[in-house]
Chain A
């Protein structure tokens, strides 16, 4: 059997673009036979991992949470009903798991949740390779949490505007326009800094 790491190595891009019916077929197959879940796992694991990492900032905890998310997804899959939004469903599970993580961390540290969120490290700064990316990472970190979440869902999670809208309770148009404005705002602020 080809392992996932081999499979990943053979990918020229991050993940193949699958049309909705294909994802639906993968979901149905996994519902009929849980061992077919591997296809879904392989298709979404990078998106989920990156999204989790963008929220928690270290690999060890990201691995723990990602494992929990996929285990939850596997267990809950029989109850999922095809509505054409499997990614939104998957990321709902992911967001809950991350929320659990922060709640537990808050309890452990006896800290106020807001304090924890406000004092999260500027995660993106770790990966910035150029001055431009460093500046961009700083600018993103200064954005309101809601907007940072949009960026994480879009660029780390690979979700469509529609899927993001479903997750955050806004219309597709509102997300699309908001994201466009956000990118323009970032570009404009970068120019000011330059």
Chain B
């Protein structure tokens, strides 16, 4: 045997191993014929179908959705609500070739995310079905989304990133068993995407995808027994809540600079994992260890107690209680006890609060299964999700802060995020 195996020889040998399996030629011909039949069929049907366009939405959608008087558009981090007639008002949309993302729900349980060129009223990119969440980076250059590769199977979800100008898609997570798709977030400057991985044979790994280099960096995670990380007060640091001692149930809030390795305790005695950034990353809400207070932290290090004496037990359904309004000054927050279920408005500058919804009184039909899910961009509406006891069957509504009315949203409604 020739002992001199240089790279060129190796390439030939390896190539031989991988290319010596030839397909059956009959199979190839058969598949080609099958594809051509399908292609022929497709070319005939695609001409007839305009399966989704604004025309379809207005012509066909309106027939079945007479009661749908509003179309919900999510712009930025909030929902932008316009009347059905004003959508055609191009001044709203600047008359330019504006692309936007639409999260469409053809049927309950299905989500299809599309990119639509508004002025041409055509879908220019379809990310596919089973999209579970999406977020445009703060610099508007990228779209991150999670998508289940199998319908209704969260274990097959992966996170993808698409460069919006080229529509180049990259899969970020690569292991549905270990990579968590629930814990991803853009950095404040939009350059990095943070996510966690949970290998079966080692502690949690924190990974950061860098949009500039396209590489995924695995960073040291000194708090692997802690809450999932979120971004810190800059683009180089992460925040975690961690037990002071194992089993103590007493938590501290840490900031960890992954560039320098510096660690800093920002707060003692906080609730585990209860951290909520305003959309502009200027203010952070933290909950006290006994769940009775909401604390506000700002980048300058100042802390104020926003709310004292929150009744127990805390609301923990869906994990989120605070929702920042688009003005980055107002929040909605829910308080649910055995007897009551309230939604309050809370003002960050003064700490003042006002009762917005008394759910058991105003909407007794939902028997307490009522959750505020998002704000409209103009701050005038809330997206509300209701459901049965187990939240297995969800319905969406819009709550008007002005009138206090709850309007059901048709299942065809779309959420749209303008990206240009």
Q: Is B16 an interface residue (CB 8 A)?
A: yes
CB contact under 8 A between A187 and B215, given known A54-B18, A74-B35, A81-B124 = no
Partner of B21 from A4, A53, A184 at Cβ < 8 Å: A53
CB contact under 8 A between A133 and B39, given known A171-B213, A186-B10 = no
Name the interface residues of B97-118: CB closer than 8 Å to any CB of A.
none
- Which residues of chain A are within 8 angstroms of B18 by Cβ–Cβ distance? 50, 54, 124, 151-152, 155-156
- Would you give the 0/1 interface string for B1-22, flagging 1 where the beta carbon is closer than 8 Å to chain A? 1010111011101111111110
Q: Is B34 an interface residue (CB 8 A)?
A: yes
Q: Is A25 an interface residue (CB 8 A)?
A: no
Instruction: Please classify how large the interface on chain B is, using the bins under 10, 10 to 19, 20 to 34, 35 or more.
Output: 35 or more
Q: Is B349 an interface residue (CB 8 A)?
A: no
- Which residues of chain A are within 8 angstroms of B32 by Cβ–Cβ distance? 3-4, 38, 41-42
Residue of A nearest to B200 (CB): A114
Residue of A nearest to B153 (CB): A103
Residue of A nearest to B44 (CB): A34
Residue of B nearest to A157 (CB): B18
Q: Is B299 an interface residue (CB 8 A)?
A: no
Partner of B171 from A42, A92, A171, A184 at Cβ < 8 Å: A92
Taking the nearest CB of chain A, how far is it from the CB of B154, in angstroms?
13
CB contact under 8 A between A74 and B126, given known A53-B21, A155-B17, A187-B5 = no
- In the complex, the answer to whether B126 meets A79 with C-beta atoms within 8 Å is yes
Name the interface residues of B185-234: CB closer than 8 Å to any CB of A.
209, 213-216
Q: Is B253 an interface residue (CB 8 A)?
A: no
Q: Count the A residues whose beta carbon is within 8 Å of the partner chain — how many?
A: 73
Q: Is A120 an interface residue (CB 8 A)?
A: no
Q: Which of A140, A190, A194 has the most CB of B within 10 A?
A: A190
Q: Is B150 an interface residue (CB 8 A)?
A: yes
Bound CA–CA A151/B11 (angstroms): 10
Q: Is A144 an interface residue (CB 8 A)?
A: no
- Would you give the 0/1 interface string for A135-179, flagging 1 where the beta carbon is closer than 8 Å to chain B? 011001000000000011001100000000111111100100000
A-B contact count (CB 8 A): 167
CB contact under 8 A between A71 and B38, given known A45-B28, A83-B168 = yes
- Which residues of chain B are within 8 angstroms of A151 by Cβ–Cβ distance? 14, 18
Taking the nearest CB of chain B, how far is it from the CB of A98, in angstroms?
11
Name the interface residues of A71-123: CB closer than 8 Å to any CB of B.
71, 74-76, 78-79, 81, 83, 85, 89, 92, 96, 99-100, 103, 113-114
Residue of B nearest to A153 (CB): B18
Partner of A67 from B15, B31, B168, B171 at Cβ < 8 Å: B31
Residue of A nearest to B21 (CB): A53
Q: Is B310 an interface residue (CB 8 A)?
A: no
- In the complex, the answer to whether A169 meets B28 with C-beta atoms within 8 Å is no
- In the complex, the answer to whether A170 meets B17 with C-beta atoms within 8 Å is no
Taking the nearest CB of chain B, how far is it from the CB of A30, in angstroms?
8
Bound CA–CA A174/B216 (angstroms): 12
- Which residues of chain A are within 8 angstroms of B248 by Cβ–Cβ distance? none
- In the complex, the answer to whether A4 meets B29 with C-beta atoms within 8 Å is yes
- In the complex, the answer to whether A5 meets B38 with C-beta atoms within 8 Å is no
Bound CA–CA A33/B213 (angstroms): 37
- In the complex, the answer to whether B171 meets A183 with C-beta atoms within 8 Å is no
Taking the nearest CB of chain A, how far is it from the CB of B200, in angstroms?
8
- In the complex, the answer to whether B13 meets A5 with C-beta atoms within 8 Å is no
Taking the nearest CB of chain B, how far is it from the CB of A86, in angstroms?
12
Q: Which of B14, B15, B40, B167 has the most CB of A within 10 A?
A: B14
- Which residues of chain A are within 8 angstroms of B171 by Cβ–Cβ distance? 92, 167, 169
Partner of A35 from B39, B125, B128, B166 at Cβ < 8 Å: B39
Taking the nearest CB of chain A, how far is it from the CB of B274, in angstroms?
32
What would 6 A/B residue contacts be, using CB atoms closer than 8 Å? A9-B25, A62-B23, A131-B1, A140-B17, A183-B10, A183-B11
Starting from the known contacts A35-B40, A128-B17, 7 additional A-B residue pairs (CB-CB under 8 Å) come to: A33-B43, A74-B38, A75-B42, A132-B13, A169-B215, A190-B5, A191-B5
Q: Which 9 residue pairs of A and B lie closest in terms of their CB atoms, listed nearest first?
A: A5-B25, A34-B39, A187-B5, A155-B18, A156-B18, A79-B126, A81-B167, A83-B168, A183-B10
